[in-house]
Amino acid sequence: MIDFRDNWRIVLLVVLAVVAGAALFGPLAGGGEQLEGTEQVVNDPTNLQYGLELSGGSRIRGQLAGTTVDDASIGENDRRDIELGVAEELGLEPIDVTVRVTGTDTATVEVFTNVTDQRVVDALGAAGVEIGTGDVRAGVTEDTRDRAVSVLENRINEVGLSGGSVTTVSQPGGGEHFIVVEAPGINRSELRDLIGDPGRVQIVATWPNRTADGNVTYDREEVLTEEDFDRIGTADAGNQGQPPHVPVTLSTNAADRFIESMNRLGFTSGEGIGNCRWRQSPDDPGYCLLTVVDGEAVYGASMSRNFGNDLRTNPEAFRSSPDFQMQTLNFDEAQELRVNLEAGSLPTELQIQTETFISPSLAQEFKPLAALTALAAWLTVSGVVFYWYRDIRVAVPMLVTAFAEVWILLGFAAAVGLAMDLSHIAGLIAVIGTGLDDLIIMADEILQRKENVKTGRIFQNRYRKAFWVIGMAAATTLIAMSPLAVLSLGDLRGFAIITIVGVIIGVGVTRPAYGDILRHLMLDDVKRK
């Protein structure tokens, strides 16, 4: 009888298998997904999430628009002036130019649009920064790409798309960089609408400015941006004459600036209150607070009388409770506005280059085929092992151990929310192959081509020799797969991650446990000593 107190590897294998089962078939299992049109994924009995190729959906690849100058001679004190000057020379908004100080009197300049090298050189020259066209490169910085990936991930999560992913890939040699967005369960147009626009949200004040000759021009000033909001509420459809809106709460600093701007620009005066004509006359809007998304006004609101009087005579009331409503023309715009506010804005436009759609019905066919392939590999190798050794004490534990390794891997995937795709399935099959290969090495070395093992000491010596070979092979695999796991190489990354985790589980748990099982099955109590 096996004494589990002296065989902790077997105990660990059983415990991990139980934990993996709980992760696979816990309370959240069997959710199912609604896909495009009338197609629907059959409820899955597990907690596994599936990527694009196993659930259907869309994939979009694109590049961030931008032009960058590295190591420009700019000091910290000049940063804001350079941003404003370059934006004005290029006819852009100040938000479209960023100067990021990287060292003593050096900075990186990013222009978030595609412009010619010469125009960037001229714009910086007009702002007092001398560079040559050779200092300008197409594309954005790594920090900007990372920020864009984070924003896109937040957008996918905000609309509840499980299994979605956002990754960066690059050409060999560090050339062009691309962002790849995959979202199961939606078509290409829906995904394009979700990620295609930067989603920059501003509250812009516009007010009349009467010149000396009696003409009226309109000035504009940004008074709030998405960074000024501490809390974003749920989109409201509005009622009883109230338009659709998104309730927000301003930060303390933003509330102070908003109070100052409204009083300074005349919005709290008798002329400014209730005097927005933006919908009726966009060219003569009056005193309006415009909700602007990606440079396009989606709503124009007047300053209400009560709110304006409070900002003028009792600003502390608003400062203590700085609640604000961002209004839109319809509920769909309000929902999109909430997603943009919650997820944040892209630093620049994602220029879409390729789009792919996989039908959900086609994707569903991949699951049983992938499972059948893994099962065939598992049973075939085990059958060969049984034929060679003609001993169920060798073949059956090998079959069970290999199954346990895959089971634990699937539990790991369910626990961490890894979206299984064909690359991950390929990794599982590779783990089955390498795992059974290691177990064959162990059995062959220990049993010496079907010869009996006479003592526990002989068994232990042969086990150590076999495990040394297995350990070296595992180390080689880890070294070979590590670059694929960290580099942005698309599907190869998923394959490498599953393979690496499988090798670690195998060397740390399943191979040693199989050795203990063999020792107990091939030796009696006396011979084990």
Per-residue pLDDT of the chain (529 residues; tens, 9 = 90+): 445 455 778 888 888 889 988 888 877 544 444 444 434 444 567 788 777 777 778 889 999 999 999 888 887 778 888 888 998 899 888 888 898 888 778 889 999 988 898 999 999 999 888 888 888 998 899 899 998 898 888 888 877 776 678 888 876 555 678 898 888 778 888 888 888 788 888 889 999 987 777 788 888 888 888 888 888 888 888 877 778 888 889 998 899 999 999 999 999 998 889 888 888 888 888 899 888 888 888 888 888 888 888 888 888 888 888 888 877 878 888 887 887 777 778 888 888 888 888 877 776 777 777 778 777 877 777 777 777 777 788 788 888 888 888 899 989 988 887 878 778 888 888 888 788 788 888 877 777 655 555 666 777 777 788 888 888 888 888 888 888 777 766 667 788 888 999 999 988 888 888 888 877 777 654 344 4
Burial grade of 256 (CB within 10 A; 0-12, 13-18, 19 or more): middle
Rounded Cα distance, 60 and 188, in Å? 8
Beta strand pairing call for 97-103 and 67-72: unpaired
Phi, psi of 144, deg, nearest 5: -65, -40
Q: Are 395 and 518 in contact (CB under 8 A)?
A: no
Q: Are 135 and 72 in contact (CB under 8 A)?
A: yes
Domains annotated for the chain, with CATH where assigned, are: 4-49+359-522 (1.20.1640.10), 57-62+143-198+350-356 (3.30.70.3220), 66-138 (3.30.70), 201-339 (3.30.1360)
Rounded Cα distance, 132 and 125, in Å? 10
Contacts of 244 (CB under 8 A, 6+ apart): 235, 236, 237, 238, 327, 328, 329, 330, 331, 333, 334
pTM above 0.75, yes or no: no
Two structure tokens written together for 371? 């499972």
pLDDT value of residue 119:
92
CA distances from 350 to 140, 235, 347 (A): 11, 26, 9
The beta strands (E) that lie in 150-286 are given as 165-170, 177-184, 201-210, 216-225, 229-232, 245-250
Two structure tokens written together for 381? 């190798």
pLDDT value of residue 44:
64
Rounded Cα distance, 475 and 500, in Å? 10
Q: What count of Cα atoms within 13 Å lies in the side-chain half-sphere of residue 66?
A: 31
pLDDT value of residue 465:
83
Rounded Cα distance, 335 and 158, in Å? 11
Two structure tokens written together for 97? 């130019």
CA distances from 134 to 66, 70, 71, 200, 212 (A): 16, 11, 12, 31, 47
Contacts of 280 (CB under 8 A, 6+ apart): none
The SS3 call for residue 272 is coil
Return contacts of 128-132, CB within 8 angstroms, 24+ apart: 128/78, 128/82, 128/85, 129/72, 129/73, 129/74, 129/82, 130/73, 131/69, 131/72
Q: How many CB atoms lie within 10 A of CB 440?
A: 18
Rounded Cα distance, 216 and 197, in Å? 34
pLDDT value of residue 42:
47
Return contacts of 395-400, CB within 8 angstroms, 24+ apart: 397/514, 397/517, 397/518, 397/521, 398/436, 398/439, 398/440, 398/443, 398/514
Two structure tokens written together for 256? 């102070």
The SS3 call for residue 418 is coil
